[in-house]
Amino acid sequence: MIKKGIILAGGHGTRMSPLTKAVNKQLLPIYDKPLIYYPLSVLMLAGIKNILIIVNKGQLPQFKKILQDGKRFGIKISYAEQLKPKGLPDAFILGEKFIKNDKVALILGDNFFYGQSLTKNLKECVKLNSGCKILVHPVNKPEHFGIAKINVNRKITSIKEKPKNSKSNLAITGLYFFDNSVIKMSKSLKPSKRNELEIVDLLNRYRKKNKLKAEFLGRGGAWLDTGSIEDFHNTSSFVSALENRQGFKIACLEEIALNYNWINKNGIKKAINFYGNCIYSNYLKKLIK
């Protein structure tokens, strides 16, 4: 069972400059809450309570101001600083002391997931005994994504980065589940031409050992990468439309914690006091009426 998770929230966010010159992208708003709430909610829905957030050097106080140590959500949040982007597998090298001898999940800080069967799928993924499991989702333009080809047993037979002609349309999303050998494998990777450690190289190590499997986000599920201004705006509009139409909040961390009995009604009251008089607090008040 995976009980630890890492959120990679570093990077320069250059595609969203000048917004990201002053503020980390993961602290910018997706509708009514910071982007970081969304990947954090995914790990929480999976039942993961021990979380490491990797941020850029100098941006730690900004994250601690909003998330603190996680106690408000009934979880434990610790932090690590990344001096410069070195590729996704660097998260496991930076997080070695955090991971110790355990298995670990990794989610990218700018990825958004939503779906009716999301929680069920996540709880299946954290049951991982060995190897690696990744979440895949169909896309219209495979040439823009890392694409996985899978067999009937959901084992991944090939991975191609932005293929021009692909029979598969299953994109590799920014959510991964690894056994403990991920630390050793990440350390053994060689930097690519970009001078970064590549997640595809890491996944291929598992694939060659026949230990790479896929889990589907499911029909009706949504996976959005908020890497550009347009994607950021579209994701915010998506959240706004759903929340206002259906009357519930996506990625309300306190609500997830309350439903999992990680906090009680007093915890909700403390959160309301923390946020002050706002729409988010008004929603929290409804939870304890």
Q: What is the pLDDT of residues 41-66, one digit of tens each?
A: 999 999 999 999 999 999 999 999 99
Please give the Cα distance from 194 to 87 (Å, whole number): 9
| Section 80-98 average pLDDT | 95
pLDDT tens for residues 152-179? 888 899 999 889 888 899 999 999 999 9
Q: Which has the higher per-residue pLDDT, 19 or 157? A: 157
The answer to whether residue 12 scores a pLDDT higher than 80 is: no
The answer to whether residue 4 scores a pLDDT higher than 80 is: yes
Q: What is the pLDDT of residue 20?
A: 78
Q: Contact 6/106 with Cβ under 8 angstroms? A: yes
Q: Which long-range contacts (CB under 8 A, 24 or more apart) does 199-207 make?
A: 199/87, 199/88, 199/89, 199/146, 200/146, 200/159, 200/161, 201/89, 202/88, 202/89, 203/132, 203/134, 203/156, 203/159, 203/172, 203/176, 204/159, 206/131, 206/132, 207/156, 207/157, 207/158, 207/159
| Section 230-259 average pLDDT | 95
Number of Cβ within 10 Å of residue 171's Cβ equals: 22
Q: Contact 42/4 with Cβ under 8 angstroms? A: no
Domain extent listing, the chain: 4-131+174-251
Please give the Cα distance from 129 to 133 (Å, whole number): 10
**Percent of the chain at pLDDT exceeding 90:** 82
What are the C-alpha distances in Å from 287 to residues 240, 241, 254, 260? Answer: 19, 21, 10, 14
**Percent of the chain at pLDDT exceeding 70:** 100
Q: What is the pLDDT of residue 255?
A: 98
Q: Contact 12/92 with Cβ under 8 angstroms? A: no
As its CATH architecture, domain 4-131+174-251 has Alpha-Beta Complex (3.90)
